[in-house]
Each structure stands twice: as C-alpha cells, then as structure tokens.
Amino acid sequence: MKDGAVDFRLDGRVALITGGSRGIGLAIARAFVAAGARLVISARKPEGLEAAAEELRALGGEVTPVACHTGDIEQVRALAARTVETYGTIDVLVNNAGANPYFGAMIDAEEWAWEKTVGVNLKGYFFLAQEAARVMMKQGKGSIVNVASIGGIKPGPMMGIYSITKAGVISLTQGLAKELAAHHIRVNAIAPGLINTKFSELLVNTKEIVEPALQGIPMGRYAEADEIAPAALYLASDAASYVTGTVLVVDGGAIA
C-alpha cells in the first residue's frame, strides 16, 4: 500500500476455525471477529461451542457453531459443506483442533494412541484442508493456516506420536502450499511453543515438568493463547500476500 498502512483486515471473509471453543482456537476466533470476519467454529462438545459462540457474538461477531469430531472424515466433510451452505464459501481455514491423548515413551505406546492422535491431528487436518481447498479453488483465492507445534520441528519428550503428527502437519503445509499456489491459495503453519490452555494444563501445573521446560525457553515463561492469535491473523490476511509454505514459530525462543 502506498500510504504504508498494512492490511490485517478480514472484513466479510468467511473463516472456519476448528477447536474454536477454547484455548488457541477461541483466541484466534476473537481476533478474527475483531478483524471483521464471519465465522464457523467447531469442536466436539456443543456446550463449549455454544458458550464460545455467545462470547464471540457479544464482541459483535457473526458466528455459527457446528459440532464436529475432526477425526471422523464424514463429519469433517459435513463441516465444510455446512460452512458453504451458511455463508456461501470458505475464505480462511484454521486447522487447529488437536489431541495428545498419550503422554509417555514411544516404545510403550499402543495402537489406540497412534490411531487417535494421527486421526485428529493429521488425518483431520488433511481432509478438511482438502475440502476447503476445493471450495477456495472455485473462487480462485484463500488462506489455510495449520496450527502445528514446535514438537513438529524438535520432538518433545514423552510426546513422540504427537510430535510425529505435527511434523506431518508441517509437511502437509509445505506440500499443499506448492500445489495450491497457482490457485492463489496460501498455506502456512504456526508452531506454538508452550501455551497455557486446557491442552497443556498437566505440563503447566506440574512443577517437575514446567520448571525444566521454562529453563529451555529464553523468555523464561509460557505464553497465553492470545499471543498466538496475531500470528494466525497475519497469515490469514492480505498482509501475508507473499507468504506461503512457511512455519511461523511463536515460542519465546525455545527452538532457537
């Protein structure tokens, strides 16, 4: 822009955010509402979703909550279809709903832990990105933001399967970015470090785990979910018009 103003607005755009009922997904939803987007938020539990939708509407947002288990491909397809039925398109997809049901050594992990983690974190992201990309290709533009993790760059202790899925999310991001660039669809990932949410409450609230973890973070603290939302807004918006296939690390310096 000639006047130097940078365009972080999403006015009128339709954004679909998975895991939008709390934590990082809800923080992203708040930022997107403030930037003018219309939202579909999804999660499994209808109560949490409704409460989040009410909160977002109180901020002035147009928000449609849709219950969806992202490990179930039929539900994932129905979620994308419902978004298009409601608002006519999908401009932005934030793949964010993630699970880590098993905390322990990989050599002891059982098949259920693999199936559940890969199902939600990788298969769910893959097939929802596929659905959204098909819609975006028709309109000739769009932005996909995948919430990965620094575990996908450097595997976290006792989080082996989870880290494998997040490395897969980074590969998915880079591969799709190349495939979809010609259609003016950008695909990027965010790699958060340690963030204070329900997902990480065991880590954050266990002294023996959190103290060594904080020693590995140059900024000496974990972050709040609101500190991840600006990264998602940047990648979703036209401010990132030349950014695709990248992984934006937001981790207080941990990976450095």
Ligand X SMILES: NC(=O)c1ccc[n+]([C@@H]2O[C@H](COP(=O)([O-])OP(=O)(O)OC[C@H]3O[C@@H](n4cnc5c(N)ncnc54)[C@H](OP(=O)(O)O)[C@@H]3O)[C@@H](O)[C@H]2O)c1
Catalytically active residues, by annotation: 162
Identify whether the C-beta of residue 220 lies closer than 8 Å to the C-beta of residue 214.
yes
CB of 63 to ligand X, least distance (A): 14
Q: H/E element holding 92?
A: strand 92-95
Interface with ligand X includes 44 (CB under 6 A)? Answer: yes
Q: Are 108 and 30 in contact (CB under 8 A)?
A: no
- Those residues whose C-beta lies under 8 Å from the C-beta of residue 184, and which sit 6 or more positions away, are 140, 141, 142
**Nearest CA to 184 among 91, 88, 83, 87?**
91
Q: In terms of CB distance, is 21 or 173 closer to ligand X? A: 21
Binding region for ligand X (CB under 6 A) out of 32-40, 43-51, 58-66, 208-216: 43-51
CB 127, min distance to ligand X, A: 12
Tell whether residue 120 is a contact of ligand X (CB under 6 A).
yes
State which of positions 56-85 bind ligand X (CB under 6 A): 68-71
Quick one: how far is CA 163 from the chain centroid? 15
Q: What type of residue sits at position 220?
A: G
In the complex, what is the shortest distance from the CB of residue 6 to ligand X, in angstroms, rounded to a whole number? 26
The only residue of 13, 48, 127, 142 in contact with ligand X, by rule CB under 6 A: 48
Q: Per-residue b/e over 58-74, b at no fewer than 16 CB within 10 Å? A: eeebbbbbbbbbbbbbe
List 29, 194, 236, 248, residue binding ligand X (CB under 6 A):
194
Shorter beta-carbon distance to ligand X: residue 31 or 147:
147
Quick check: 42 and 31 in contact, CB under 8 A?
no
The residue within the footprint of ligand X, chosen from 117, 200, 237, 244 (CB under 6 A), is 200
Report yes or no: 16 and 83 within 8 Å, Cβ to Cβ: yes
Residue 123 within binding range of ligand X, rule CB under 6 A: no
Under the binding rule (CB under 6 A), the answer on residue 195 touching ligand X is: yes
Residue with smaller CB distance to ligand X, 95 or 244: 95
Residue type, 146: N
145 lines the binding site for ligand X (CB under 6 A)? no
Q: Strand ranges (DSSP E) for 85-194? A: 92-95, 142-147, 185-192
Give min distance, CB of 74 to ligand X, in A.
Answer: 13
Shortest Cβ 162–ligand X spacing (Å): 7
Structure-token pair, residue 201:
């409450």
Our CB check for ligand X shows the closer of 31 and 120 to be 120
The helix/strand count (H/E) of the chain reads as: 9, 9
Site for ligand X in 151-190 (CB under 6 A): none
Using CB under 6 A as the binding criterion, the count of chain residues that bind ligand X stands at: 30
Binding positions for ligand X, rule: CB under 6 A: 18-19, 21-25, 43-45, 48, 68-71, 96-99, 120, 147, 149, 192, 194-195, 197-200, 225
